Amino acid sequence: MRIDGSIALVTGANRGLGRHLAQQLLDRGAAKVYAAARNPDSVDLDGVVPLGLDITDVAAVQAAADAARDVTLLVNNAGGYTPAGLLDAPLDDIRADMDTNFFGTLLVTRAFAPHLIANAPGAVLNVASVLAWVHPYRAGAYACSKAALWAQTDAVREAFAPHSVTVTALHVGYLDTDMTAAIEGPKSDPAAVAAAALDGVENGTIEVLADQLTQHVKAQLSADRGTAPQPQGTPR
């Protein structure tokens, strides 16, 4: 798909990776970029069309789809993170990550599917995570939601394929954004990740592995994991 001349919508476009994606879409010649956020007044990019959108609100999602019927490129970037372990966190915290990262993305994709098909050729970019494939206990809820999003992405790719709409998944480790401000360790430049993601969209790439950590983890998926360790103490 050519980004030059496209009509794009980016969820969570007011900050972090979403803001970089919206800016780079403009830089690459997108004819229009809808910058969606729960509070459209928080969008501060010149040249975009701010759009109010809470991806967990069915009515808000439908209203956004009604307002942006010309979309040819949907970027499902909005997401949430709750540091919730599956055995001890409140179920509401676990549901929050699933409601946002899995069901919220699905709501938006379903709402915009008729427009993407009618305006084809088109594309969808889903922002997944390396945690779709590796599942640390304290990020259990988030990891489960991103693993489910990975499966969702593959399933909708098959559904869109006959209609000339491609679907790309972006997998990345820690990004240097507000969400990871309290986390120590190496972090990827969101501008570089956004560029790699949009290159993938233009090339029709199925999965963009945006950093070395993600590439390493994906390469290990077929490795024999051996026997399960014996329980020792409390989960970490």
What is the Cα–Cα distance from 93 to 97, expressed in whole angstroms?
7
Please choose, from the candidates 146, 13, 17, 23, the residue with its C-alpha nearest in 3D space to the C-alpha of residue 68: 13
51 by DSSP, 3-state: which?
Answer: strand
> In this predicted structure, what is the pLDDT of residue 71?
98
Is the residue at 85 inside a domain? Answer: yes
**pTM of the entire structure?**
0.91
> In this predicted structure, what is the pLDDT of residue 143?
96
Is the residue at 64 inside a domain? Answer: yes
Is the residue at 160 inside a domain? Answer: yes
Per-residue pLDDT of the chain (236 residues), as tens digits, is 999 999 999 999 999 999 999 999 999 999 999 999 999 999 999 999 999 999 999 999 999 999 999 999 999 999 999 889 999 999 999 999 999 999 999 999 999 999 999 999 999 999 999 999 999 998 999 999 999 999 999 999 999 999 999 999 999 987 866 655 555 656 788 999 999 999 999 999 999 999 999 999 999 998 877 764 443 433 32
Is the residue at 232 inside a domain? Answer: no
**Can you give the CATH number for the domain in which 136 is found?**
3.40.50.720
User: Could you list the residue range(s) of the whole structural domain that residue 91 is in?
Assistant: 7-219
> In this predicted structure, what is the pLDDT of residue 233?
36
CA angle at 228 for the pair 224 and 231, rounded to the nearest 5°: 155
Is the residue at 236 inside a domain? Answer: no
Give the Cβ contact number of residue 84 at 10 Å: 24
Strands in 57-215 per DSSP E: 73-76, 122-127, 165-171, 207-209
* Number of structural domains in the chain: 1
Is the residue at 127 inside a domain? Answer: yes
> In this predicted structure, what is the pLDDT of residue 185?
57
Is the residue at 34 inside a domain? Answer: yes
Is the residue at 71 inside a domain? Answer: yes
> In this predicted structure, what is the pLDDT of residue 227?
60
Distance of CA 122 to the CA centre of its chain: 17
> In this predicted structure, what is the pLDDT of residue 110?
98
Using left for φ > 0, alpha for ψ between -120 and 50, and beta otherwise, residue 34 falls in beta
Q: What number of H helices and E strands is found in the chain?
A: 7, 7
> In this predicted structure, what is the pLDDT of residue 232?
41
> In this predicted structure, what is the pLDDT of residue 231?
39
The DSSP bridge pattern shows strands 207-209 and 7-10 to be unpaired
> In this predicted structure, what is the pLDDT of residue 184?
61
